[in-house]
Amino acid sequence: MAILLHKDSSLIIQGITGKQARMHARHHLEYGVNLVGGISPGKSGHVVEEKPVFDTIKEACAALGAIDATLILTPPYAVLDCALEAIDNGIGVIVIITEHIPIHDSMKMREAAGTAHACIVGPNTIGLISPGKSKAGVMPGFLYKEGNVGIVSRSGTLTHETASNLSIMGIGQSTCVGIGGDPVPGSSFEDILKLFKDDPETELVVLIGEIGGAAEEQAAAYLAAADYGKPVIAFIAGATAPAEKKMGHAGAIIAGEAGTVASKHAALKRAGAHLAGSIEEAVTMCGALLKKETRADF
């Protein structure tokens, strides 16, 4: 099953006539994604990678039928309108790759999505992928292998690294979700953990966090209260970051004792998660918990 995206999920790209969006449209089609068209106001009637372009999502739905997911690849100033348009037209999965989104815009999008029971992934994300089935994002699909480990992460690079190392070890992934590194993500760790809990294809979850914010502590509170029933391996990046240095993500802000690696480790340990000190250790833990052999020399 995986979560959020399936083999036949229909996808559009908002901003499809841009240079980067055209490239990613081609990559999605090469991966086998059911990309049905794109949106670019004023460009209706154009074609990108043999897929039709429409002025609005309403126009696209009238021509193509219901659409399951959208990938937003537009400048920051246009993202709020794009997301609200997608929500208003019943699209259930909205992936926002764009970074530098104003916080108030992110708050408005998240509130609207919650009311409509839609799921926003991002902003400032690599997106999501259900290996061997579909993807909506900018990750290189060849790094990911179909299997039963779910990954939810604040870091795109660490998602790639974890998935590729798992794949090398012969351990595949059910779905990998980058929630993004912004202070106000469209989906939280808790939101994605709930989806993995109900997914029979996911046997184990790897949670990749980082210093700053309270997202990991909130995930720990959920795990502590829920009868989760699946192992969760947690790795928190930034343990060696100098206190006076800024991290790359806008959400990586430490306030006093909150948001530190120690506080996140303590909360997750109390919640029953398995703590990994490195990506390599997390991969080895996956193999042990799934009773699969892994090499230590990768």
Q: What is the tens place of the pLDDT at every residue in 268-286?
A: 999 999 999 999 999 999 9
For residue 120, give the amino acid letter. Answer: I
Query: Mean pLDDT score of the chain, rounded to an integer?
Result: 93
The third-level CATH classification (topology) of the domain covering 10-121 is Rossmann fold (3.40.50)
Express each pLDDT in 168-204 by its tens digit. 999 999 999 999 989 899 999 999 999 999 999 999 9
Tell me if residue 287 falls in helix, strand or coil.
Answer: helix
Q: Which of 160, 249, 265, 274 is catalytic?
A: 249
Q: How far is CA 106 from the centre of its chain?
A: 16
Domain 139-289 in the same topology as domain 10-121: yes
Cβ contacts of 272 within 8 Å, gap of 6 or more:
223, 224, 228, 232
pTM: 0.92
**Residue 248 scores a pLDDT above 70:** no
User: Is 249 one of the catalytic residues?
Assistant: yes
Domain boundary assignment for the chain:
10-121, 139-289
The counts of H helices and E strands in the chain are 9, 14
Query: 182 with 173: CB under 8 angstroms?
Result: no
CATH class of the 139-289 domain in this structure: alpha beta
For residue 122, give the amino acid letter. Answer: G
